Structure 1
Amino acid sequence: MPSPYPHLPFLAWPAQWREHGLRGDLVAGITVALVLIPQALAYAKLAGLPPHIGLYAALLPAVVAALFGSCGQLSTGPVALTSLLVGASILPLGATAGGDLVGLALLLALLSGLIQLALGVLRLGWLLNLLSVPVLMGFVNAAALIICLTQIPPLLGLAMPHSDHLLVDFVRALGGLDALQPAAAAFGVGSLAVLVGLKRLWPRLPGVPLVVAATIALSAWTGFAAQGGAVVGAVPAGLPGFSLPPLRPELIAALLPAAFVVAMVSFMEAASSAKLICGRTRQPWNQDQELVGQGLGKLAAAFTGGLPVSASFSRSALNYANEARTGLSSLVTAAFVLAALLWLTPLLWHLPKPVLAAIILQAVAGLIDTGVMRRAWRASRDDGAAAAITFLATLAFAPNIQNGVFTGLILSLALLVYRGMRPRVALLGLHEDGTYRDRERFGLHHPHPRLVILRFDGPLSFVTAATFEDAMLGAARAQESVRVVLVSAAGINAIDATGLHTLASLVERFHGQGQKIAFCGLKKQVIDAMERDGVWTRISAHSNYRTEHQALDALQPALAAAGPAASAPAP
């Protein structure tokens, strides 16, 4: 049932509270907060920003996205994939911005938020569907692998250099194993092992907050920071102040392509979560309204010192598993983040940075799904090749992984056009079940020595007109005495000016050869276009048939009057 408040979804929450109660939202909000707070610190680090920026992004942006989004279970805040895109986009521009990476992140949040908001308000969310699932999964798998590579050195306490070649940086980092800090490696590897073990053996336990609490206590007790270990350090206490992104034209121009990628990829992540959850709860989901909510969330981040946010698949699943029904769960989560900012920041001082790397690795490992790419290859070689090319391009361009998305987008559009230019065309024969089916596939005969039936499965447009013309000329030569080519047109859903021009030319050409074109199964919108163009008056006598059987019965006199079989002139 559609929401009575499609543009203000939060007004419908009280009705759901009366029906389902508040317990699910409250429990889910607390549970997600325990995971979100350490993740926010880790994902800010992944973006190359101070840890507290992640907490700022988990506060007001999460509230705004929950209020205006259409799926109550989505948990908005810092996420791994978007954070990696943020880091890849702003780090190369650090010198141009005078080292102000936070300002660049704010500007990126502003631009990507405006893009999403505009798409949602103008109801253009369908444009984001141009990125096919195989291409998206190729990118996600490559990005997840890149995140893992970037986090292995800090997991071991090694410095990770930054250049234009990620794989070279990774090899250089591992080449410095002589500088490995045993204590840092113990914190990192030990935390990762515990997180993986807890997830497998006791999945209902809150592994991330337990590990964070334990490592903070152990770090303080052993004096890890005093021994030269890397810790989070001072986290500013209190609420974030009002921030204004640096609105410099050269920075806007440089970040605009990256903002489009962030808007597209982050919404794909949010949409995948929303579709899955709403499909299970049978709640309505509005793609354009979700774009508005996610866009406003990014704008809130831009003006409150955060980084671009998105809906987290894992935290949203946690909301769903704890029976959250509305965005109140996100408000509860934000309240705990607020409490952490006001009173708990001193406790974070001793948190080892290798533990943050372990949190990222454990969360991101779930994004790697090579099975999706294998299934795409089995379904279609084109899709499989597109996924593989996107995967390799993303790795090759790393750390500038936004170029991998552009590669995938171009591939998606190219495949769309390529497939559109090659609609299925078949010559039909009478099957034993009484229907007309593909002659070649079923080994059938033509229904009449002077008639050929051609089925065209696609719109007759500027993209397919050449294919239609070639198919018609081939059908005219399919038998030596063809007098009529009957087009089974149930699959033709539309026709444009190029299609009409091609059809008119074929009518003239066939007439000059002593042949006719007939249609059966034409749809109303196609006939209307033919009438407006004037071509209908030239073909209507033999084009108003509903089925192949009706057409054959009606065309029998014309076929008999054609006289003895004779070879049709070569078109």
Structure 2
Amino acid sequence: MNRLTGLVNFDWMHAATAASLRSDVLAGLTGAAIVLPQAVAFAAIAGLPPEYGLYTAMVPPVVAGLFGSSLVMVSGPTTAISAVVFSALAGQMEPGSPEFVQGAILLAMMVGVIQLFFALARAGRLAGFVSHSVMIGFTAAAALLIAVSQMGGALGLPKSQAHGIIDRLLAVFGRLGEANMIAMLSALVTLITVIVFRRYLPRWPGFLIAIAAGTVVVQLFGGAAGDLAFVGSLPSAYPVFSLPSLDAGNWTEMLESAFAISLIGLLEAIAIGRSMAHKTRTDFDANQEVLGQGLSNVAGSLFQCYPASGSFTRSGVNLESGATSPIAAIAAAVFLVVLVALFRPFVSLVPIAAIAGLILYVAYKLIDLAEIRHLLETSRTESVIAGLTFFVGLTVNLELAIYVGVLVSLAVFLNKSANPVLAIGAPDTSGGHRTIRNAEIFGLPECPATLILRLDGPLFFGSVDTVNARFRALARRRPEQVNLILILHGVGDVDLSGVELLEIEAERRRAAGGDLFVVCHYPPLAERLRQLGLAVIIGEDSFFMNKGAAISAAVDNIAPDTCAHCDKRVFVECAFRPDERKTLRSS
């Protein structure tokens, strides 16, 4: 428990002023107006009755705000998490049924416990190893699945039991003749209204106004709209304490889904937290945020909430509205309770078609076409990761998609770590002073007897095979370059396997009449190499802190006959060899 409490930081409370409190309260009012229709829509995406979206917008934001790290991030129901919850449970239970609801609440408990284990292990920074392209592909797949799932509602069609994007599309197209024009008009008015307000009046509660507009359209038709589906009355406006049912669903399958949801939630929350910290110029502790998210889901599961995470939309609006601390998120939850009481009779009149129109807008905004285009233009590897995640998400399920994306990302990272860059260098004096540059790229002449290599990347057990293969290939192609100057530039880590490789290379070079000269500029890395015994193994006279000393030692180690027949004079040190001075005087 001490490790958990060490992550909690309430310093923001001491910085509160009357002015900041006023800004936070006003920002909270704006946030409550936005989250009211969003929570109902997100609950529909998750296959849950609307009240559970409202509960999830009331409890988790308070806990995450108090125990998380970000000052302005707002947690609660999100599109991606809602989509995964539906995907995880729809195959086992009937969406909207009491069993389905209990399964979603139990998922929140599982997700929270898993995230707390992550917090204990201080695994927050591990999220940085997951490629951003995974979230791009995952989000695009979730957006399309969400859009397709709402087409039936927007057309006024009866609820379909189809699963998967192809089955859902076939179900919709097979019943187009049954489409309800009033439902279509309601969805269209809702969609156009939210687009107009988000584009031209972003500070207005556009989501709430759009839902109202879509509802008014239906009410104008009176009894002719009686066949449409409506949200219905809320059985309870406020969450109550209730332990999750441990008998809901298949535990094995739910644990797999819970792990995926916890990972997605943490990736979302950490990405938002870092972004908000950059904009507000405040500190952000990923591990503390992991703790806050875990506690918010555990607490939420005790008050009838389904899994929650940080919200991109509401966090952005919170910041734009002037929020300065988590008090804004807490105020938003309190105001939401008040708004639900005021608008509770109105919610029962909201047509499902209007909700579908709002969700179609949310799905559209999830797909960042500019970011996808930039990814395709700049990185083939990242594009493949995003494409694979997207494909699996559409064709299989979203949980597997996140696993596949993460595994491929880690494989790419490990592959890069196992294949450090080993570049051939040579001195370049064209700028007035000597600089070691890439000999192959700049076409620089090399010393016939000395090879210069610069290593960029870790020298550890995972990369020694690659580095050794490169050493051997160069030795076969350049047998006359018996000396090797190895510059450890950008080597982030080295272990005993790396030092053993250098020992073997030194023995091979010395057996061929040359030697190995290691250059290490970075003092902590040099100290690490000494601790591993490199200086003792190759000798202090072969271990250097600067390139000049290594080059001088390598030049002195060149056989006189080799220099006598060389006209390149690559190094200025060539003129300072005793035999070279004699040659220069005689000429």
Answer whether TM exceeds 0.5 for this pair. yes
Q: In structure 1, what is the equivalent of residue 201 of structure 2?
A: 202
How many angstroms apart in 2 are the aligned matches of 1:28 and 1:43? 22
Q: In structure 2, what is the equivalent of residue 441 of structure 1?
A: 441
How many angstroms apart in 2 are the aligned matches of 1:373 and 1:221? 42
How many angstroms apart in 2 are the aligned matches of 1:443 and 1:34? 65
How many angstroms apart in 2 are the aligned matches of 1:56 and 1:149? 26
> 1:154: how far off?
0.9
How many angstroms apart in 1 are the aligned matches of 2:564 and 2:263? 61
How many angstroms apart in 1 are the aligned matches of 2:484 and 2:150? 65
> 1:6: how far off?
7.6
Q: Deviation string for 1:298-351 (max 9, x for gaps)?
A: 112211111111121111111111101112212221122222444532221111
* Contact preservation (8 Å) 1:195, 1:207: yes
Percent identity over the alignment is 29
Letter in 1 for 2:197: L
How many angstroms apart in 2 are the aligned matches of 1:134 and 1:154? 31
Cα distance change of structure 1 residues 533 and 268 upon mapping to structure 2, 3 Å threshold? closer
Which secondary structure state, in structure 1, belongs to the residue aligned with residue 62 of structure 2?
helix
How many angstroms apart in 2 are the aligned matches of 1:533 and 1:201? 63
Q: In structure 1, what is the equivalent of residue 17 of structure 2?
A: 17
How many angstroms apart in 2 are the aligned matches of 1:230 and 1:285? 45
Letter in 2 for 1:536: A
Q: Give the stretch that moved more between structures: 539-548 or 188-197.
A: 539-548
Which secondary structure state, in structure 1, belongs to the residue aligned with residue 558 of structure 2?
helix
Q: Give the stretch that moved more between structures: 293-302 or 531-540.
A: 531-540
* Contact preservation (8 Å) 2:61, 2:74: yes
Q: In structure 2, what is the equivalent of residue 263 of structure 1?
A: 262
How many angstroms apart in 2 are the aligned matches of 1:408 and 1:105? 24
> 1:465: how far off?
0.5
Letter in 2 for 1:445: P
Which secondary structure state, in structure 2, belongs to the residue aligned with residue 74 of structure 1?
coil
Letter in 2 for 1:155: A
* Contact preservation (8 Å) 2:109, 2:298: yes
> 1:163: how far off?
4.0
Q: Deviation string for 1:514-539 (max 9, x for gaps)?
A: 33111112645555555455453231
How many angstroms apart in 1 are the aligned matches of 2:249 and 2:232? 34
Q: Deviation string for 1:117-174 (max 9, x for gaps)?
A: 2222432102222320112211111211221121122111123534443222222212
Q: Give the stretch that moved more between structures: 369-378 or 245-254.
A: 245-254
Q: In structure 2, what is the equivalent of residue 569 of structure 1?
A: none
* Contact preservation (8 Å) 2:520, 2:526: no
Instruction: Point out where structure 2 has 5 or more consecutive residues left out of the alignment.
Output: 566-587
How many angstroms apart in 1 are the aligned matches of 2:356 and 2:157? 11
Instruction: Point out where structure 1 has 5 or more consecutive residues left out of the alignment.
Output: 567-571
How many angstroms apart in 1 are the aligned matches of 2:16 and 2:7? 17
Task: For 1:164-179, list aligned pairs within 5 A.
Answer: 164-179=163-178
How many angstroms apart in 2 are the aligned matches of 1:534 and 1:363? 59
How many angstroms apart in 2 are the aligned matches of 1:532 and 1:343? 70
Q: In structure 1, what is the equivalent of residue 424 of structure 2?
A: 427
* Contact preservation (8 Å) 2:47, 2:95: no
How many angstroms apart in 2 are the aligned matches of 1:206 and 1:34? 6
Cα distance change of structure 1 residues 362 and 235 upon mapping to structure 2, 3 Å threshold? same
* Contact preservation (8 Å) 2:210, 2:358: no
Q: In structure 2, what is the equivalent of residue 69 of structure 1?
A: 68
How many angstroms apart in 2 are the aligned matches of 1:14 and 1:495? 44
> 1:487: how far off?
0.6
Which secondary structure state, in structure 2, belongs to the residue aligned with residue 44 of structure 1?
helix
How many angstroms apart in 2 are the aligned matches of 1:498 and 1:79? 46
How many angstroms apart in 2 are the aligned matches of 1:214 and 1:449? 81
Letter in 2 for 1:243: S
Q: Deviation string for 1:208-227 (max 9, x for gaps)?
A: 21232344455455446962
Q: In structure 1, what is the equivalent of residue 499 of structure 2?
A: 500
Cα distance change of structure 1 residues 310 and 328 upon mapping to structure 2, 3 Å threshold? same
* Contact preservation (8 Å) 2:44, 2:50: yes
Cα distance change of structure 1 residues 504 and 6 upon mapping to structure 2, 3 Å threshold? closer
| TM-score normalised by structure 1 residue count | 0.91
| TM-score normalised by structure 2 residue count | 0.89
Cα distance change of structure 1 residues 466 and 14 upon mapping to structure 2, 3 Å threshold? closer
How many angstroms apart in 2 are the aligned matches of 1:238 and 1:11? 34
How many angstroms apart in 2 are the aligned matches of 1:11 and 1:75? 18
Question: Residue 101 in 1 paired to residue 94 in 2?
Answer: no
* Contact preservation (8 Å) 2:450, 2:485: yes
Q: In structure 2, what is the equivalent of residue 116 of structure 1?
A: 115
Q: Give the stretch that moved more between structures: 51-60 or 487-496.
A: 487-496
How many angstroms apart in 1 are the aligned matches of 2:353 and 2:243? 32
Letter in 1 for 2:413: L
Letter in 2 for 1:36: V
Q: Deviation string for 1:62-96 (max 9, x for gaps)?
A: 21111112222212211111111111111122279
Task: For 1:331-480, list aligned pairs within 5 A.
Answer: 331-397=330-396, 400-431=397-428, 432-433=430-431, 434-446=434-446, 448-480=447-479
* Contact preservation (8 Å) 1:452, 1:476: no
How many angstroms apart in 2 are the aligned matches of 1:193 and 1:377? 31
> 1:244: how far off?
1.9
Which secondary structure state, in structure 2, belongs to the residue aligned with residue 455 of structure 1?
strand
How many angstroms apart in 1 are the aligned matches of 2:537 and 2:86? 63
How many angstroms apart in 2 are the aligned matches of 1:253 and 1:565? 76
